[in-house]
Amino acid sequence: TREWPYGTAIRTYWPSPRHAEPWLESALDVKDRNGNPMPGYGWIFPVGDGTVNIGVGALSTMKGFRKLNLNTLLDQYAAIVREPWGLGAFTDKPRAWRLPMSCTRRHGPGWVAIGDAAGFINPMNGEGIDYGLESGMLAVEQFLADPATAPAEYDRIVGERFDGFLRTGRRFSFLIGHPWLLRTGLRVAVGTQAAADITLAVMGNLVDGSTPDAAGRTLRVADRVLRVADPVLRRTRPRS
Ligand SMILES: Cc1cc2nc3c(=O)[nH]c(=O)nc-3n(C[C@H](O)[C@H](O)[C@H](O)COP(=O)(O)OP(=O)(O)OC[C@H]3O[C@@H](n4cnc5c(N)ncnc54)[C@H](O)[C@@H]3O)c2cc1C
């Protein structure tokens, strides 16, 4: 929706001679065959079994999202990486899912929502596995400690741990919904080694609001700036 951003992503597995390499590759500016920017990002990582995982994702706040065809976006990204990765034929039909980034209710009498069901996906990088594991473990701990108070306690703890950071992420998604800000931001994000290190830390989910290093400090500043800018960013977001 316009108020509550979400993502969509698609992935498939492709045979590649580079299936056992230690590096993954990510593209923050996917372009079509004519060099026009497409709304979304792409990744490719070696699986080690003769294949690589290749996929693309997009945020609902991005310009052009409503008309976006994920299969087409995947084709465009595959065309970029086909040669360097020596991609063969598909072994797997591409599959797409939604990436929920918010929820209206995550606990009630006798139940709690964890992982994607609770909207625990980081809008800055589309990652949700670690939040799924962490929230699942928290839920188990609380139910083992006291089933009666577990739902409310769980809600309080995940709120303290994740809500602020994920709110920053949702605000960030409105920022990159502005194509000009996205283009400028991308240039800054990889413009120097120091900036690229911070971008990598954020993309790799290695940082949150309490991380003490430069990436953590950047995130805390971004949080304050985005809090102020959020209403304007939402109001001025281009219709997709
Ligand atoms: C293409 C793609 C790539 C991604 N890449 C990454 C990544 O690199 N890193 C990362 O951290 N995150 C990634 N994510 C996000 C990540 O996959 C999810 O955040 C994570 O899997 C959430 O875990 P979950 O257990 O909450 O939900 P799910 O993994 O969706 O598990 C829910 C399970 O419940 C089952 N289920 C649903 N309804 C019922 C029912 N009624 N009865 C019984 N079972 C039911 C489903 O079949 C499913 O198996 C990616 C997502 C997509 C779509």
State which residues form the domain around 171: 107-235
Q: At residue 154, what is the residue type?
A: Y
Q: Smallest Cα–Cα separation from 119: which of 138, 144, 102, 97?
A: 102
What are the strands of the beta sheet with 95-99, ordered from one edge?
Answer: 25-27, 41-46, 51-59, 7-15, 95-99
Q: What is the pLDDT of residues 59-70, one digit of tens each?
A: 888 888 888 899
Q: How many domains does the chain have?
A: 2
Task: Tell how far the Cα of 116 is from the centroid of ligand 1, in angstroms.
Answer: 7
pLDDT at 207 over 90: no
- Protein residues whose CB sits closer than 6 Å to any atom of ligand 1: 9-11, 55, 97, 99, 115-117, 121, 126-130, 132
Domain-terminating residue out of 70, 98, 126: 98
CB 209 within 8 A of CB 223: yes
Does some domain include residue 240?
no
* 154 and 224 both lie in a single domain: yes
Ligand 1, atom 18, residue with closest C-alpha:
128
CA 34 to ligand 1 centroid distance, Å: 34
Domain boundary among 78, 98, 118: 98
Mutate to test the pocket of ligand 1, among 127, 138, 208 (most ligand atoms within 8 A of CB): 127
Task: Give the span between the Cα atoms of 171 and 3, in whole angstroms.
Answer: 10
Atom of ligand 1 nearest to the CA of 117: 26
Residue 157 half-sphere exposure, CB side, CA atoms within 13 Å? 19
Which amino acid residue places its CA nearest to atom 9 of ligand 1?
Answer: 127
78-133 residue pLDDT tens: 988 999 999 987 778 999 999 999 999 999 999 999 999 999 999 888 899 999 99
In this structure, are 36 and 89 located in the same domain?
yes
In the block, which residue shows the tokens 């219709």?
Answer: 239
| Cβ partners under 8 Å of residue 21, min gap 6 | 46
List the single range of 76-80, 134-138, 151-155 with lowest mean pLDDT: 76-80
Pairing of strands 7-15, 25-27: unpaired
